[in-house]
Amino acid sequence: MCGIAGIFQNSVYNYSEVCKIINTINHRGPDAKGIWYNEFISIGSVRLKVVDFDENSNQPFVSRCKNYILAYNGEVYNYLNLKKKFNLKTKTDSDTEIIIELFSKIGPKAFSLLDGMFAISIYDIKNNKLYLARDCFGIKPLYYFKKNKKIVFCSEIKGILETEKNVETNHASVINFIKWGGLDNSTKTWFKNIESLEPGSYCEINTSFKLKKVKYYKLEENLKKKKISSKDIPYIFNELLKRSVKNQSQTIRSIGTNLSGGVDSSIVTSFLGEINPDINSYTFGYTEKKYDERPYAKTISNKLNIKNFSSVTTSHDINNNFLDTLIMQDEPFTSFRQVSHHKLYSDYKRNGSTVILESSGGDEIGAGYTGFIWPFFLDQIDKLGLSKATDNLYKSLKFQNLSEKKIKNFINAGIINQEFYGSSTSDGQKIIDKDCISSSYQKKNDEGPPVYKKLFKSNLLNSQYIELFNTKLPRGLRYVDRASSASGREARVPLLNKEIVEFCFSIPNESKIHNGQLRWFMRKSLNYLNKKKINLTNKRSIADPQRIWVKKNLKNLFLQVFKSKKFKSRGVFNQNEVLKSYNRFIKNETSHSLGIFQIFITEIWFRLFIDNNAYKFQGEKLDNFIDYTNYN
């Protein structure tokens, strides 16, 4: 894990400004710090040493030809193969040097050859050009601010805000989130003129400061059409993931996994344990048994003979850690689960593993969300006819233990989400009652629902693609990156290997959803583990006790915000309607908490980042912050 930053501007020395930026993101790389600069650009880096301890690998890194400067965040797992293939001469054993020497040799074509997670900045001294690049699936973050003839880039938004003090709110992104369910669904952020570089792309910037953007990787153009026997699919997936875990286990530091007890994390932990018996696993849980993952994780870790360490989050911990989590994330998150994630890393910051394998991406590439059953049904209509497809739909929903009422709601949600993807939950509930949003705010800022590309003939593949590149996974990767980096740790995601993702998008739908079972081929792959058979059928599907806490434990905090003059005068929400909606939520046992939570976190975000300097409130409790900001 590292952090990068820079300012590109004609005839301006920005050394001191970049110093401020990298100090702001120092948590990402506590082992080394460096800056390279001239009259056009200042580039900075903070480094967490995970591949080698060699000081010569510190960044910014100068190429052998002295014409290129590199600052880079991430890991490239095939760097030794690239070194051999292109006969690259190096003085270090780092992947950093391989990247810059490969770029020196073949230019931007180098980005498409890198297998890993990365955010890269390369400055061409001779031609005075800046290149920014991001990995295929957006695992590593890269943000940039462009205004007039100035580019500021950084691994985190907070670094840009350190030097650009008067950045305004991007209200279109706010309305996209609270009305249409969009979050990290595009390159836009909640700050005007601050954008995220699109995954699988690079941009070239010259002294005219026009951004030439190039998409170097397109998933849809890399899918193999070779037919594979359905019985072989679980085995092939198993082998691909085993290889990916092996490649991503290379480190000089301690390594472990975050283990939930689910399919993905159990397989990853098993493979890592075979490669390196001296690993630890980490799990967060809750005192409320219904939502607690610890028993499932403990069962798996015992079977694999791997140590498991746990972190417990209570509503009291939410009060203590909510603001710090939001400050580290820079933009809103969607549940208290993210506070638990940050706390897990924080609890083992000193004595835990430096490198952690996370299992992000499994639901997206394997069709693991309940909502995927609807597009799968639409595909089956074309293939099997309406009658047979409908029979299969009801069997699948019954398999998911949905009642008749919930089945009806699910069907309604499926229809709505095919038109306005993500605006309803899978049980058919609107995320936020639009009456809760100020009509004048909507009129001024609503640009309509997000429109997503539909590149495949298959409805299921289109839905998977949207979740992979536009909705759930982008926000999930942000959560993973900030939670790990906040504690100076590196998170790796072996499921998001190009070969694995392309394989999962190439196999038949029926291998993903089979007799109502989601991610069928992944579950079947458990049969090929070299350990005792792992039974995961009883794992819970409810993520956390957020609904209980919002109704009871944290009720006073929500009411203090919703009833305040500050909330009313914000002009984003209709206070009376929000209070009515919250009261309905409290009385309804089956209603979801997502909409209420989104209203709450949006207001807290405004108070932190727009009304105040957010970083002055690090370590502050949520209740004290609400008391203070209600009157200031």
Domains of the chain, residue spans? 2-217
| Sequence-separated (6 or more) residues with CB below 8 Å from residue 25 | 3, 5, 46, 154, 155, 156, 158, 159
Cα 555-548-593 angle, rounded to 5 deg? 80
Percent helix, strand, coil in the chain (nearest 5)?
Answer: 50, 15, 35
pLDDT at 429: 66
Residues of the chain with pLDDT under 70: 424-429, 530-533, 535-542, 589-590
Q: State the Cα–Cα distance between residues 341 and 337, nearest whole angstrom.
A: 6
pLDDT at 538: 45
Q: State the Cα–Cα distance between residues 380 and 377, nearest whole angstrom.
A: 5
Phi-psi region of 258 (alpha: psi -120 to 50; beta: other; left: phi over 0): beta
pLDDT at 612: 95
pLDDT at 413: 79
Smallest CA-to-CA distance from 263 within 538, 580, 546, 616 is with 538
pLDDT at 399: 79
In the block, residue with structure tokens 């992944």: 522
DSSP state letters, 348-412? TTTTS-SEEE--TTHHHHHT-SGGGHHHHHHHHHHHH-HHHHHHHHHHHHHHTT--HHHHHHHHH
Contacts 24+ apart (CB under 8 A), 99-106: 99/70, 99/72, 100/61, 100/62, 100/63, 100/68, 100/70, 101/63, 101/64, 103/63, 103/68, 103/70, 103/131, 104/63, 104/64, 104/65, 104/67, 104/68
Quick check: 575 and 562 in contact, CB under 8 A? yes
pLDDT at 54: 86
Quick check: 472 and 364 in contact, CB under 8 A? yes
Q: State the Cα–Cα distance between residues 161 and 158, nearest whole angstrom.
A: 5
pLDDT at 254: 96
For the domain covering 2-217, report its CATH number: 3.60.20.10
Contacts 24+ apart (CB under 8 A), 200-203: 200/134, 200/135, 200/136, 200/137, 200/138, 201/133, 201/134, 202/108, 202/111, 202/120, 202/131, 202/132, 202/133, 202/134, 203/131, 203/132, 203/133
Model confidence pTM above 0.85:
yes
The angle, 0 to 180 degrees and rounded to 10, between the axes of the packed helices 498-506 and 459-469 is 160
Query: Which is it for strands 490-492 and 255-258: parallel, antiparallel or unpaired?
Result: unpaired
pLDDT at 532: 59
pLDDT at 539: 47
**Residue 541: Cβ-neighbour burial (10 angstroms; 0-12, 13-18, 19+):** exposed
